[in-house]
C-alpha cells in the first residue's frame, strides 16, 4: 500500500490534499514551482491546522507530527521515491501533459499517477505518459480533509490493477468512499453541483428570490451544509465558471451555459472566499460575515 505520496501543485486543492494525506500518517512531498508559492502553501496549511486545533479536531502534538511528514519541494525530481503521485495543478491540458511526461522520467514504472482534474479528459492525459495503464483520476471534493468521498476515474487505458490499488488506498488508508466513474466531463459531483449552482444563479437573475433565501431554502430544505450560492463562493466563482464553460463546450447543451451573472462576478474579481466577497462576504479565516 502507498506510504510515500507526491502532490504536484500547491494551490487550494493541492494544499488540502497534502494536508489530509499527512494527517493520515503518510509521507508527503508537495511540489510547487517557486519557493514563494511553496512558502505560502506551507503557511496556509499551518493556518488550516491551527484552525482545526481551535476546533478541537487535533492536538498540538498531532499538528507537529502532520507538519513533520510534509516535505516542501521545488522540483519534481524529489518525487523519485513516491508510490503514488497526485497531480493537482491548474486545469490546463498542456501543462498537465507536461507534468505527466516529466514524471515518466522520474518515478518508477509501477508508481500510480493520478490527476485531480474535474473536467479534462483523463484518456487524453494518460496518452502523455509512456505507460497510460498506470494513469488514473482521483477527484477529491474540497476541503479534502473533511469530505470523505473520492471519485476514482478510469480512463480508457487505465488497468484493473491501477484501479484496484487506488480504490483500496482510498478506502483503507484514507477512510474515504471511493466512487468509480468512467471518464466524462464533470464526472458525477462537478456535473451535478455546477448545474445546481448555475440554476440558482438563474433564479437570482430572474429576481425570484434573494441570495439568502435561495441558500436557506436549499440548505434547510434538502440538508445541504451550505446553500448553492455559498457553495459557489467556497469553490471559487472562477473555478465554477471554468467547469461550466468546459462542460458547455464538451456536451454542447444549453443547460451548461454559464449564467451572465457568474461571468460578471468573475470579471469584477468577486471570486468568493478567496477574494473575501462573492455572493456573500467572508472574513480572513473564510468565515461568513454577511
Partner 1 sequence: MNILVINAGSSSLKYQLYNMKTEDVLAKGRVERIGMDSSILTHEVENQPEVREVSEILDHTTAIKKVLDMLTHRKFGVLRNIQDIQAVGHRVVHGGESFSESVLVDQNVKLEIRKLFDLAPLHNPAHMMGIVAVEANLPNVPQAVVFDTAFHQSMPPSSYLYAIPTVLYRKHQIRRYGFHGTSHDYVSKRAAEFLGRPLEKLKLISCHIGNGASCAAILHGKSYDTSMGMTPLEGLMMGTRSGDLDPAVVPFAINKEDLTLNEVNSMLNKHSGLLAISGISSDMREVVEAMNDGNDKAKLAFEMYAYRIRKYIGSYVAAMDGVDAILFTAGVGENSAPLREAVCRGLTFFGVHLDADRNAVRSSETRRITTDDSGVSVLVVPTNEELLIARDTYRLVKDKTAVESRF
Q: Please check whether residue 286 is in contact with residue 275, taking contact to mean a CB–CB distance below 8 angstroms.
A: no
Single out the residue of 98, 161, 164, 167 nearest to residue 138, CA to CA. Answer: 167
Q: Mark the segment that binds partner 1 (CB under 8 A) among 38-46, 53-61, 235-243, 251-259.
A: 53-61
Task: Report, in Å, the least distance between residue 72 CB and partner 1.
Answer: 19
Q: Mark the segment that binds partner 1 (CB under 8 A) among 54-62, 102-110, 111-119, 160-168.
A: 54-62
Residue whose C-alpha cell reads 498506470 in the numeric block: 134
Helix, strand, coil proportions of the chain in percent (round to 5)? 50, 15, 35
Residue whose C-alpha cell reads 499538528 in the numeric block: 63
Q: Mark the segment that binds partner 1 (CB under 8 A) among 48-56, 84-92, 178-186, 241-249.
A: 48-56
Residues contacting partner 1: total by CB under 8 A: 9
Cβ-based nearer residue to partner 1, 59 or 101: 59
Q: Would you give the binding string for partner 1 spanning residues 107-146, x where CB under 8 A is met?
A: ---------------------------------------x
Using CA atoms, how far apart are residues 79 and 261, in angstroms rounded to an integer?
A: 42
Which three cell numbers mark 67? 507538519
Using CA atoms, how far apart are residues 139 and 179, in angstroms rounded to an integer?
A: 10
Query: Can you tell me which of 41, 49, 58, 72 binds partner 1, judged by CB under 8 A?
Result: 58
Q: Which of residues 5-24 bind partner 1 (CB under 8 A)?
A: none
Using CA atoms, how far apart are residues 171 and 157, in angstroms rounded to an integer?
A: 23
Applying CB under 8 A, the residues found at the interface with partner 1 are: 3, 25, 52, 55-59, 146
Amino acid at each position: 500500500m502507498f506510504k510515500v505520496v507526491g502532490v504536484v501543485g500547491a494551490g487550494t486543492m493541492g494544499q488540502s490534499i497534502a494536508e489530509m494525506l499527512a494527517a493520515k500518517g503518510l509521507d508527503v512531498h508537495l511540489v510547487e514551482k517557486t519557493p514563494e508559492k511553496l512558502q505560502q502553501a506551507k503557511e496556509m496549511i499551518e493556518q488550516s491546522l491551527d484552525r482545526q486545533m481551535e476546533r478541537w479536531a487535533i492536538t498540538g502534538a498531532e499538528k507537529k507530527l502532520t507538519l513533520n511528514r510534509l516535505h516542501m519541494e521545488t522540483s519534481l525530481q524529489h518525487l523519485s521515491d513516491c508510490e503514488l503521485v497526485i497531480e493537482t495543478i491548474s486545469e490546463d491540458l498542456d501543462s498537465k501533459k507536461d507534468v505527466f511526461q516529466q514524471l515518466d522520467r522520474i518515478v518508477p514504472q509501477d508508481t500510480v499517477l493520478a490527476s485531480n482534474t474535474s473536467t479534462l479528459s483523463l484518456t487524453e492525459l494518460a496518452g502523455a505518459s509512456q505507460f497510460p495503464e498506470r494513469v488514473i483520476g482521483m477527484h477529491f471534493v474540497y476541503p479534502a480533509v473533511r469530505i470523505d468521498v473520492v471519485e476514482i476515474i478510469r480512463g480508457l487505458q487505465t488497468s484493473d490493477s491501477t484501479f484496484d490499488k487506488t480504490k483500496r488506498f482510498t478506502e483503507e488508508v484514507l477512510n474515504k468512499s471511493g466512487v468509480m466513474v468512467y471518464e466524462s466531463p464533470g464526472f458525477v459531483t462537478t456535473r451535478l453541483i455546477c448545474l445546481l449552482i448555475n440554476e440558482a444563479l438563474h433564479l437570482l437573475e430572474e429576481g425570484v428570490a434573494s441570495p439568502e433565501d435561495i441558500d436557506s431554502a436549499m440548505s434547510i430544505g434538502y440538508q445541504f451544509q451550505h446553500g448553492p450560492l455559498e457553495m459557489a463562493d467556497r469553490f471559487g466563482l472562477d473555478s465554477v465558471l471554468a467547469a461550466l464553460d468546459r462542460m458547455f463546450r464538451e456536451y454542447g447543451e444549453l443547460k451548461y451555459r454559464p449564467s451572465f451573472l457568474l461571468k460578471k462576478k468573475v470579471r469584477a474579481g468577486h471570486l468568493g472566499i478567496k477574494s473575501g466577497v462573492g455572493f456573500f462576504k467572508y472574513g480572513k479565516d473564510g468565515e461568513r460575515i454577511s
